[in-house]
Amino acid sequence: MRKLSGKIDGQEYAVLIGQNMDSERKHYFEEFSDRILFSSPKLPPAEIQRLKVEFGNKNVVLTDDGESCKSLANYSLLINELLGRGFPRNGMMSYSGGGTLGDLVGFVSSTYKRGTRFSAIPTTLLAQVDSSIGGKNGLNVASFKNSIGTFHLPEAIFCDSAFLSKGVMRDGLSEVIKYGMINDPKILDSLRGHRWDDILDDPDLILSLVERSVRTKMAIVEKDFRDTKGVRAQLNFGHTVGHALESVSGNSLSHGQAVCTGMIIESRMSELEEISERGTASSLVGIFGDLGIDVPDVSAYSLDSMVNFVLNDKKLSAGEIRIPVPVRPGFMASLSLTPERFKKILSKAIGG
């Protein structure tokens, strides 16, 4: 097991990375007489049973996962569950599942009785390397992603590779590749020559990818926890266009599909504006191709709808849309465009 420790705003936290960490989790959660775990019902029954052993059967509540769970209605359901149990403010609240459930439970934890202690058991690669790290929580309102949210840091995050099945690995590789592009090109080097199916058969590679990705995100977040200094913005590479694609597709595109496409399109836009080095976008296409990950065709989606989403997605500053882009792997810059210029360059980039 590998333990990464950090400190933000005076709060210490730990990310534990390993395989089959049942005993470590059980030892940690036994310290809390009042504890509750909101778990995704999508986990295999055997894994849910393992978590019930660790938490106690009555302390595990199955809760819908997926993008639709991040609603005010589900927020109210969880609050009522806690009130019905008389759950105290000093209890430990946790979740096991993907990033959407983490967003919901994190938001609940940050607001219930003005904040409870919080921990995370992310069970997808996407959640382990990205959403569980950094303390951002959010709900969707009126089809806009994370339009309301809080900053609330988990005290402990258990990244157990035993939860990572074939179905949850593929989508998370987009975020892993993002970390390679924005900060750690060695991640890209380690992926070259691998099909994504091969990665499942290499537990050491999986743990290395998770650790390198988590280290990158921790380092960035600790410099700019509340996203006010511009440092944390680089984590949004691929997400400005990616979130718009998720929205206009009605979430038929997964987060991973949307982000991999968003990174390619944003790199093309940056090349057109002569910020990214030539070939940056095509190198990304090559990496995804080598891994056997298909990049979806998004040319049929409404350009006006995408731009409208971006204008309402927290990316507008001083009348311009600002997105982080790589000059080359490991070196980031900012692309600033008026909405009119953004639409024009976006159209060219989608056209390929």
Cα first-last separation, the chain: 44
Domain map (residue ranges) of the chain: 2-164, 183-350
Contact yes or no for 64/41 (Cβ under 8 A): yes
- At residue 166, the pLDDT reads 73
Q: How far is CA 242 from CA 56, 264, 313, in A?
A: 39, 10, 11
Cα separation, 213 vs 20, in Å, equals 20
Tokens of 95: 């979740």
Each as own residue / partner, the long-range contacts of residues 317-324 (CB below 8 Å, 24 or more positions apart, any chain) are: 321/240, 322/233, 323/236, 323/237, 323/240, 323/241, 323/266, 323/269, 324/182, 324/233, 324/234, 324/235, 324/236, 324/237
- At residue 315, the pLDDT reads 63
DSSP, collapsed to helix, strand or coil, labels residue 273 as: coil
- Which residues in the chain show pLDDT less than 50? none
List of residues 6+ apart from 206 with CB closer than 8 A? 161, 164, 169, 199, 200
- At residue 293, the pLDDT reads 85
Contact yes or no for 145/262 (Cβ under 8 A): no
Contact yes or no for 124/99 (Cβ under 8 A): yes
Cα separation, 43 vs 23, in Å, equals 19
List of residues 6+ apart from 109 with CB closer than 8 A? 93, 115, 116, 117, 118, 137, 152
Cα separation, 109 vs 18, in Å, equals 26
Cα separation, 105 vs 77, in Å, equals 11
- At residue 200, the pLDDT reads 81
List of residues 6+ apart from 344 with CB closer than 8 A? none
Contact yes or no for 55/29 (Cβ under 8 A): yes
Assigned CATH for 2-164: 3.40.50.1970
Cα separation, 199 vs 5, in Å, equals 26
- At residue 314, the pLDDT reads 61
- Tell me, rounded to whole angstroms, the distance of Cα 24 from its chain centroid: 24
DSSP, collapsed to helix, strand or coil, labels residue 346 as: helix
Domain 183-350 has CATH 1.10.8.50: no
Contact yes or no for 305/248 (Cβ under 8 A): yes
- At residue 333, the pLDDT reads 97
Q: How far is CA 227 from CA 11, 238, 258, 291, in A?
A: 17, 17, 22, 32
DSSP, collapsed to helix, strand or coil, labels residue 71 as: coil
Residue 297's nearest CA partner among 244, 229, 250, 351 is 351
Q: How much is the pTM?
A: 0.94
The string of DSSP letters for 137-174 reads: EEEEETTEEEEEEEE---SEEEEEGGG--HHHHHHHHH
Looking at the chain, how many residues does it have? 352
Cα separation, 39 vs 52, in Å, equals 10
Cα separation, 336 vs 298, in Å, equals 23
Alpha helices in 273-302 (DSSP H): 280-291
Phi and psi dihedrals of 201, rounded to 5?
A: -90, 10
